[in-house]
Amino acid sequence: MSQIPTADLAGLIWFLILWIGYTQYADRYARRERSLRAVMHAHRLQWMRCMLTRENRMVDAGIVGNLQQSVSFFASATLLILAGLMTLLGASEKAIVLIHELSFASQPTLLLWELKLLVLVVMFVHAFFKFTWALRQFNYCSVLIGAAPRPPDEENADAYAVRAAEVSTRASKDFNQGLRAYYLSLAALGWFVSAWAFMFATTLVIGVLYWREYHSAALRTLEREPS
């Protein structure tokens, strides 16, 4: 650990605190009224209620299919990124030589360089697991749509819609957590410049994510009642 400067350790700790802390905050307050997740859950619930009234549910199956394609794309891209990172990790000594020629970048030791790459590897492994679990949950949602009663039993119809909407929302939550790892990986690139750039970029990314989730124009549009 003596080969890792104090500033770099502080940057890594700050990064983990913000990432884990914001994830816990977002999950804890996800169901409050003014958040994208809460608003979208209300729309998903309305979608499932409308789905139960339709005879032909091909439209609903198509919507789930589009959601699955987006998740599948990111899952596949994550594997390619991991392959690139592992290749770069195997060529660390050559990469450090190139980094030393960049005047604006910090001059890392081999241990510090490998630590930075391993942090990125862990982030994208985390993202891959989130994306694949989201994909499976969207599959479960499609099964619920296919298994929905027709015509629905009025007594149990709303409970069925609530369950299907909950599965869809949970899939979306894991997809968003995978995307969050992508956003924060951009902040982690600042670590290759300096520890202070790393901390600043992490704070900036978390701030942007918070604004989008709780104060964005998209949120105001989505929560607006149709006229």
227 domain residue, yes or no: no
- Separation between Cα atoms, residue 39 and residue 70, nearest integer Å: 21
90 domain residue, yes or no: yes
Q: What pLDDT does residue 154 have? A: 64
11 domain residue, yes or no: yes
Q: What pLDDT does residue 227 have? A: 46
1 domain residue, yes or no: no
Locus of tokens 């862990």: 122
For residue 72, give every residue at least 6 positions away whose Cβ sits within 8 Å of its Cβ, in sequence order, or none: 135
Assessment of whether the complete model's pTM goes beyond 0.85:
yes
207 domain residue, yes or no: yes
For residue 36, give every residue at least 6 positions away whose Cβ sits within 8 Å of its Cβ, in sequence order, or none: 212, 213, 214, 216, 218, 219, 222
Q: What pLDDT does residue 70 have? A: 92
Tokens linked to 96:
């450090």
Q: What pLDDT does residue 211 have? A: 93
Tokens linked to 30:
């996800």
| Number of domains making up the chain | 1
- Separation between Cα atoms, residue 128 and residue 118, nearest integer Å: 15
136 domain residue, yes or no: yes
Question: Distance from first CA to last CA of the chain, Å, rounded?
Answer: 61
Q: Please tell me what DSSP assigns to residue 153.
A: P
162 domain residue, yes or no: yes
Cβ burial 35-45 (10 Å sphere, 16+ → b, else e): bbbbbbbeebb
Query: Helix %, strand %, coil % for the chain, to 5?
Result: 80, 0, 20
* Domain assignment of residue 174, given as a range: 6-222
77 domain residue, yes or no: yes
- Separation between Cα atoms, residue 174 and residue 154, nearest integer Å: 31
pLDDT per residue, tens digit, the chain (227 aa), is 557 788 889 999 999 999 999 999 888 776 666 788 989 999 999 999 999 888 888 898 899 999 999 999 999 999 999 999 988 877 766 656 666 555 555 666 777 888 889 999 999 999 999 999 999 999 999 999 988 887 666 667 888 899 999 999 999 999 999 999 999 999 999 988 888 999 999 999 999 999 999 989 988 888 776 54
